[in-house]
Structure formats: structure tokens, C-alpha cells
Amino acid sequence: MKKYVSLIIIALLAGADQASKVLALKLLKPVGSADFLPGVLGFRYVENTGAVFGSFSNSTVLLSVITAAVIITGLALLVTGRFSNKVYLFCAVLIIAGGTGNLYDRIVRGFVVDFFEFRFVNFAVFNVADIFVTVGSFVLIIYLVAGLVRDIKKERSA
């Protein structure tokens, strides 16, 4: 049951990402940029052919292959019930959903639509899928590091 709910959530999250990108294409592309919270957060339309911070520019095929491999591996682990831990499952759902949203862009559009822009710091323009991947990865890293610290403390006390 958990895996079916997870697959539905992945589809819904990837759909929400695509809906936000359709809005950006319709409303933001014609004007280029717009303020939301002046000096803090705005919208800027960007067609990203690379990865984060413009790395791997014009590497759509390579990034698509890598993203597809991560998604397929994640889905295989999910469907076979390998994510028994709720934190791992939560992280996998977010990473797979975000990866799916950006992979769809790369395959269908030839680029990823980015549109959120922090105005108070020099940071990459990003999208909803990027938020999913970042949150999922960040939570996973914190969880793994906390587990390592816990194991080291147990070893020292034993």
C-alpha cells in the first residue's frame, strides 16, 4: 500500500512542478521577470540547458541519462519495498518527483524551465522540482550524518 501511495504522491508532485512551469511559460516568459517580495524573492524566466548554477551547460542528453538512471533506480527500490524507513521513503519520493519534473522538461522542451530567483543573494534561478530534489537530498544527508554520529557515540560508550 505504501508504495502505491508513494507513486501517486510522486505523480502529483511532478504534476505540480509541471503546472508551475506552464504558468511560468505563459505568464513570465513574455515579460522576463517580475518582483514578488522586492529585494528578497522574484521571478525570472530562464531556459536552463545545464544543471545547477549553469554547470554542464548544453549537456541535456547527459543530464537526461543520469536523471533517468536515478529515477529508475529509485522507482525500482520503491516498488520492491527497499525503503522500509520512512525518512528514506520521504526523501526518495521528493528526489524522484523532482527528477521526473526536470527530466520531462529536458526531453519535451530541450531545457529546464527555471523561474524562482532570490534577490538578496547571488544564487541560481530554480524551480519547484529543484526544491523537491534539494529538500529530499538535504534531509537524507542530515539523517545519514545523524545516524553516523549516533553510531560513533554508541561505539565509544560500549
Question: What 3-state class would DSSP assign to 29?
Answer: coil
Distance of alpha carbon 20 from the chain centroid: 14
d(CA 118, CA 58): 24
Neighbours of 139 (CB within 10 A): 16
- Given the residues 35, 105, 114, 151, select the one marked as catalytic: 114
- Given the residues 17, 35, 105, 130, select the one marked as catalytic: 130
For the question of residue 114 being annotated catalytic, the response is: yes
CA distances to 19, 46, 75, 155 from 25, in Å: 10, 10, 29, 54
- Tell me the catalytic residues: 114, 130
